[in-house]
Structure 1
Amino acid sequence: MRRMVGLMAGLAVSAGAARAAEDPALGGLQVLGHAQATGTATSESLTRAYLARIEALDRKGPKLNSIIALNPHAVTDARALDAERKAGKVRGPLHGLPILLKDNIESADGTATTAGSLALKDNVTGRDAPLVRRLTEAGVVVLGKANLSEWANYRSSRSISGWSAMGGLVRNPYALDRSACGSSAGSGAAVAAGLAFAAIGTETDGSITCPAAMNGIVGLKPTVGLISRTHIVPISASQDTAGPMTRNVADAAALLTVLAGSDPADPATLEADQRRTDYLKALDPAALKGARIGVLRVTAGRSPQTDAVFDQALAALKAAGATLVEVTPPDVSQVSALEDLILRVEFKAGINAYLASTSPDQVKTRTLADLIAFNDLEPRETVLFGQETFKEAQASPDLDDPAYLTARASARRLAGPEGIDRMLAEAKVEALVAESGGPASVVDRVNGGRWLGSPSELPAVAGYPHLTVPMGYVEGLPVGLSFIGTAWSEARLLSLGHAFEQAIQVRRAPTFPATVNGSPAFDKP
């Protein structure tokens, strides 16, 4: 057997991606953990190989722009973990594995936490978010910070997903002219391209599940309150959560096992310690046998090719033993209107509190009003789109406003008990499945991309879990299958997703084409 470090280093300089079976950089926990355990790789060799791939594929080659900053201590951290392994101390299954953090998650490694904005380019807080501390205590190596839609896509309704003033535009590794979606765009593209073992993204509404689906990977938005949000640049106290983005479901389960837990500084996590479990051990490849699953056709008819892949996925679920029940999706227009108000109010309060916690020597913008003024004077920030969402949030009422409080309670009720929970109960099913969205659209700085919709809003507003797993391809572009459940149902959703993944074995590595393959229909006869 060839040593993995040599194989990975050789592949790192190639812009063409090999199949996961041939390319250890695209392997998961089983491949990379076994390599360290058997001595065919070390944490240092893995870290150096991923850094070489970042140089070849992100900085050069197809130039994915998926990473904003690298941890200057990554190799040193990996070497220390190798010393621990040699001394007989292995912290767990994630020991020595390199990951990326979305650049709105703080880490005490000397990198700034920018949310993609030039206003935070010097925001080196010296703080580890509690979720980062959990990861490093489990033996994870933090490689660096992944690019994102600036301010997690909350500066403008006309924003371009995956673009930030700090990092430029993230490119989709399955077609470089297509959107990587957002806001965890860099996390999705980097994991798909094999630039790290995994990444941690964040979601308020669709920001993990959309880029995961469009980049052909697994993404989990967990129940709000399962993972701490402390020291993460906020949008919404009601809806924000971090979550794993990986190349397979088992890796996501392993990461969630470490990420989940209560944090005294985040009241939403009060129940987390009682709710968390070992999600990796809970996986059951036969989970679909006898399962009753509701089918939501939220985006039916918008992409006939995606509908066809969805029908194939449904057939695979049935073949694996699931009973499928058609469920009529509810009208979400009222929930959407309420969500808009909730996010505006909570963003103003949350970002003002976050900015106040940063160093005044490094961050001169101390309030949302300061950010708006900064953007007005910085042409690099507004070259593509404005900041009307910021201005709407600034004009919004405070957290004690009666209209806001009523909206928050109503939205949670409509999306949760009267939305997802009602559908589950009436159909007598344990989970819902839906198309995660259509294939990635072409990036168009003038008119934007074509948005085909997704099922993310109800679980986002309810605070319920939402898992997306690759289900196939449309003209070479990945599309995902969403699994949605009630609060705290992550273990079951992951198990169902794992069983589906094992049944179809559909995921394939990207090859970084400039565009999707041409069709004979475009050629002259």
Structure 2
Amino acid sequence: MSTPDSSTTRRSVLALGAAAAATPWLGTNPASASAPPPPDTTPGELDELSIAGLHRRMSDGQLDAERITRYYLDRIRHVDPLLHAVIEVNPDALREARRLDALRGTRGPLHGVPVLLKDLVETADRMHTTAGSLALMGLRPTADATVAALLLEAGAVILGKTNLSEWAGGMSLVHHAGWSARGGQTRNPYKLDRSPNESSSGTGAAVAANLAVAGIGTETNGSILDPSSANCLVGFKPTVGLVGRGGVIPGVPSQDSVGPMARTVRDTAVMLGVLAGPDARDPATRAGRGHRHRDYTRFLDADGLRGARIGVPRTVYFGYDRHADEIAERAIADLSRAGATVIDPADIPTAERLEDLPSSMVVQAYEIKKALNGYLAAAPGRHPRSLPELIEFNREHAGRELRYVQQDGLELVEELDFGEREYREALATNHRLSRAEGIDSVLREHRLDALVMPTSGPPAKIDLIRGDAHGGGSSTPAALAGYPAVSVPAGFAFGLPVGLTFMGTAWSEPTLLRLAYAYEQATRARRPPTYRGPDVGF
């Protein structure tokens, strides 16, 4: 069989992984479908509060879980009509908050903390789990996803599900970040005609806009890191195997990660400690034994950059956007001032090959087809039972499913037919080039703790007709390797956020959190969103 054009290998199959107000159809947003009031983006009393800040107010008797939950549900009702970030609100959220208030004794690390889940994460309640697709409205999970169960066990209140790029961006070969037939187009709260970036877009926009304290995203290649950058958040993509994926609609299992998105590194560390753990439904978590920590906040150190050795891989990850470059250069200077030894350049030897890797196409196509067919066949409820049935459903409902986004990504995956031997060889190539000859090679050569580079450029304008522009990013090495990375707010270009990525070897979460926290404390780059409308120029 012929190898597909290499121009489709980076985010196309991955993906196989005008402002919305001017759009003639945005889809039905269940969170705001019943004649919502005019959007009110006035900052509220709990906006930007951390998990610790909420818990202090609860301990002082100023707040309880029910009052906190009411506050965030009200925020969703007033602000989300502007953003279309929340695809569905949990009808039982207040009841769960009251149950938590009635508890006596030991409370979990997320007691009373409202969180939102990307609409790939199954919950066995009255909410749907649809990947943004109308085809899965009949799916009824019989159990919570492992990460959802862990959040509930820790005392979190699940407020609802967030919008996403339909099928985690795998539906179309053209980039339409944050659009789904079920949820419409998510908008960036910093500038409403801008993309929220990649498939965890709803979680990014919602957490940035204080519609929840924190949220859950998933990443195959860039889908936690890039929306965190575009929405001025901290987003952590863990090592594959650290966090269980049971009950999460799959994409490319050798690359898929579930991770937290929050407004601070500390909140991200709290969330990661809750999420990390073994999962009987996810064999990859066996490799995480001995690498997990219950409390990642103990690694946070405001002076954690002092003595650190940090490399700057310039080839590929600089030069695609001058605004991202300018912000990254200031960040590199900040790292040096904070005591880090910066090795610049410290290029990943295989960087250029990783961006257009034929073996990546083989792995994505093989794994998506196998994983999605397996998921659809086993999931309970009335819905398409296979990829061909899903493709046919979309054709039958083309007026909504295919009005803006084509399904050439799904059709390409169905068309490609790679054997297991070809797949195994391709996966080994991906791992060799991204691990031993890639990230690990440069870390070892320069005795580095981590690499640092701009996460992506400022978010592009939403364009439902032609698709969003995507200038570049830094997520591919960690994606193919299954290694961890964290994006932290670094600055703004004309009011549009840009993040800085810290990337490391397998199981280096403690080191990355230490470095990211020290950088965050030294720079304090995060600012709340402004909800600006379209204007002339940049």
Question: Normalising by the residue count of structure 2, what TM-score does the alignment of the two structures yield?
Answer: 0.90
Going from structure 1 to structure 2, the CA distance change for 1:485 and 1:376 (only over 3 Å counts) comes to: same
- Distance between the aligned counterparts of 2:234 and 2:244, measured in 1? 21
Contact kept, 8 Å, 2:492 with 2:498, in 1: the verdict is yes
Going from structure 1 to structure 2, the CA distance change for 1:334 and 1:258 (only over 3 Å counts) comes to: closer
How far residue 452 of structure 1 moved from its aligned partner, in angstroms, is 1.6
Q: Supply the AA of the counterpart residue of 2:304.
A: A
Contact kept, 8 Å, 1:72 with 1:109, in 2: the verdict is no
Contact kept, 8 Å, 1:159 with 1:384, in 2: the verdict is no
- Distance between the aligned counterparts of 2:212 and 2:191, measured in 1? 20
How far residue 34 of structure 1 moved from its aligned partner, in angstroms, is 1.0
Contact kept, 8 Å, 2:39 with 2:80, in 1: the verdict is no
How far residue 450 of structure 1 moved from its aligned partner, in angstroms, is 2.3
Match of 1:513 in 2: 532
- Distance between the aligned counterparts of 2:134 and 2:466, measured in 1? 25
DSSP-derived class of the 1:199 partner: strand
Contact kept, 8 Å, 1:213 with 1:478, in 2: the verdict is yes
- Matches of residues 59-70 of structure 1 in structure 2 within 5 Å? 59=81, 63-70=82-89
Match of 1:394 in 2: 414
Contact kept, 8 Å, 1:204 with 1:239, in 2: the verdict is yes
- Matches of residues 50-65 of structure 1 in structure 2 within 5 Å? 50-59=72-81, 63-65=82-84
Match of 2:325 in 1: 307
Q: Supply the AA of the counterpart residue of 2:347.
A: T
Instruction: Check if 1:344 corresponds to 2:365.
Output: yes
Q: Give me the CA root mean square deviation.
A: 1.6
Match of 1:3 in 2: none
- Distance between the aligned counterparts of 2:192 and 2:304, measured in 1? 36
Match of 1:494 among 505, 508, 513: 513
Q: Supply the AA of the counterpart residue of 2:407.
A: Q
- Matches of residues 22-33 of structure 1 in structure 2 within 5 Å? 23-33=45-55
Match of 1:203 in 2: 219
Instruction: Check if 1:322 corresponds to 2:340.
Output: yes
Per-residue CA deviation, residues 130-173 of structure 1 (Å, 9 max, x unaligned), is 11111111101111100000000001111411000000000000
Match of 2:100 in 1: 81
Contact kept, 8 Å, 2:458 with 2:496, in 1: the verdict is yes
- Distance between the aligned counterparts of 2:323 and 2:251, measured in 1? 34
Match of 2:41 among 3, 6, 16: 16
How far residue 23 of structure 1 moved from its aligned partner, in angstroms, is 4.1
Contact kept, 8 Å, 1:224 with 1:238, in 2: the verdict is yes
How far residue 41 of structure 1 moved from its aligned partner, in angstroms, is 0.9
- Distance between the aligned counterparts of 2:254 and 2:489, measured in 1? 28
- Distance between the aligned counterparts of 2:254 and 2:154, measured in 1? 28
Give the aligned length.
496
Match of 2:352 among 329, 332, 335: 332
Going from structure 1 to structure 2, the CA distance change for 1:474 and 1:137 (only over 3 Å counts) comes to: same
Contact kept, 8 Å, 1:17 with 1:509, in 2: the verdict is no
**Greater mean deviation of Cα atoms: 117-126 or 236-245:** 117-126
DSSP-derived class of the 1:26 partner: coil
How far residue 27 of structure 1 moved from its aligned partner, in angstroms, is 1.2
How far residue 36 of structure 1 moved from its aligned partner, in angstroms, is 1.1
How far residue 299 of structure 1 moved from its aligned partner, in angstroms, is 3.6
DSSP-derived class of the 1:172 partner: coil
Match of 2:284 in 1: 268
How far residue 402 of structure 1 moved from its aligned partner, in angstroms, is 1.3
Contact kept, 8 Å, 1:25 with 1:196, in 2: the verdict is no
How far residue 37 of structure 1 moved from its aligned partner, in angstroms, is 1.4
Contact kept, 8 Å, 1:177 with 1:442, in 2: the verdict is yes
Contact kept, 8 Å, 1:222 with 1:241, in 2: the verdict is yes
Contact kept, 8 Å, 2:225 with 2:235, in 1: the verdict is yes
DSSP-derived class of the 1:371 partner: helix
How far residue 334 of structure 1 moved from its aligned partner, in angstroms, is 5.0
Instruction: Check if 1:468 corresponds to 2:487.
Output: yes
- Distance between the aligned counterparts of 1:458 and 1:300, measured in 2? 14
Instruction: Check if 1:104 corresponds to 2:120.
Output: yes
Going from structure 1 to structure 2, the CA distance change for 1:130 and 1:423 (only over 3 Å counts) comes to: same
Instruction: Check if 1:423 corresponds to 2:442.
Output: yes
How far residue 385 of structure 1 moved from its aligned partner, in angstroms, is 2.2
- Distance between the aligned counterparts of 1:132 and 1:78, measured in 2? 16
How far residue 125 of structure 1 moved from its aligned partner, in angstroms, is 1.2
How far residue 17 of structure 1 moved from its aligned partner, in angstroms, is 4.7
Contact kept, 8 Å, 1:131 with 1:259, in 2: the verdict is yes
Contact kept, 8 Å, 1:17 with 1:512, in 2: the verdict is no
DSSP-derived class of the 1:433 partner: strand
Q: Supply the AA of the counterpart residue of 2:101.
A: D
Match of 1:285 in 2: 302
Instruction: Check if 1:368 corresponds to 2:387.
Output: yes
Instruction: Check if 1:384 corresponds to 2:400.
Output: no
- Distance between the aligned counterparts of 2:468 and 2:146, measured in 1? 36
- Distance between the aligned counterparts of 1:333 and 1:296, measured in 2? 14
Q: Supply the AA of the counterpart residue of 2:131.
A: A
Instruction: Check if 1:193 corresponds to 2:215.
Output: no
- Distance between the aligned counterparts of 1:363 and 1:340, measured in 2? 31
Per-residue CA deviation, residues 180-210 of structure 1 (Å, 9 max, x unaligned), is 0120000000000000010000000001001
Runs of 4+ in structure 1 off by over 4 angstroms are: none
Instruction: Check if 1:132 corresponds to 2:157.
Output: no
**Greater mean deviation of Cα atoms: 468-477 or 37-46:** 37-46
Going from structure 1 to structure 2, the CA distance change for 1:387 and 1:14 (only over 3 Å counts) comes to: closer
Going from structure 1 to structure 2, the CA distance change for 1:190 and 1:220 (only over 3 Å counts) comes to: same
- List alignment gaps of at least 5 residues for structure 1: 1-11
Contact kept, 8 Å, 1:121 with 1:166, in 2: the verdict is no
**Greater mean deviation of Cα atoms: 421-430 or 389-398:** 389-398
- Distance between the aligned counterparts of 2:106 and 2:338, measured in 1? 40
How far residue 393 of structure 1 moved from its aligned partner, in angstroms, is 1.2
Per-residue CA deviation, residues 70-98 of structure 1 (Å, 9 max, x unaligned), is 111100101111111xx23322x311101
Q: Supply the AA of the counterpart residue of 2:323.
A: Q
Per-residue CA deviation, residues 298-343 of structure 1 (Å, 9 max, x unaligned), is 3423222221111111111111100100112433335632212111
- Distance between the aligned counterparts of 1:194 and 1:13, measured in 2? 17
- List alignment gaps of at least 5 residues for structure 2: 1-36
Q: Supply the AA of the counterpart residue of 1:305.
A: H
Q: Supply the AA of the counterpart residue of 1:201.
A: G
- Distance between the aligned counterparts of 1:33 and 1:382, measured in 2? 45
Contact kept, 8 Å, 2:351 with 2:438, in 1: the verdict is no
- Distance between the aligned counterparts of 2:125 and 2:382, measured in 1? 18
Match of 1:43 among 65, 73, 77: 65
**Greater mean deviation of Cα atoms: 141-150 or 301-310:** 301-310
DSSP-derived class of the 1:270 partner: helix
Identity of aligned residues (%): 43
- Matches of residues 409-420 of structure 1 in structure 2 within 5 Å? 409-420=428-439
- Matches of residues 165-184 of structure 1 in structure 2 within 5 Å? 165-184=181-200
- Distance between the aligned counterparts of 1:57 and 1:106, measured in 2? 25
- Distance between the aligned counterparts of 2:38 and 2:468, measured in 1? 32
Match of 1:482 in 2: 501
How far residue 288 of structure 1 moved from its aligned partner, in angstroms, is 0.1
Contact kept, 8 Å, 1:176 with 1:515, in 2: the verdict is yes
Contact kept, 8 Å, 2:318 with 2:453, in 1: the verdict is no
DSSP-derived class of the 1:101 partner: strand
Match of 1:161 among 169, 177, 181: 177
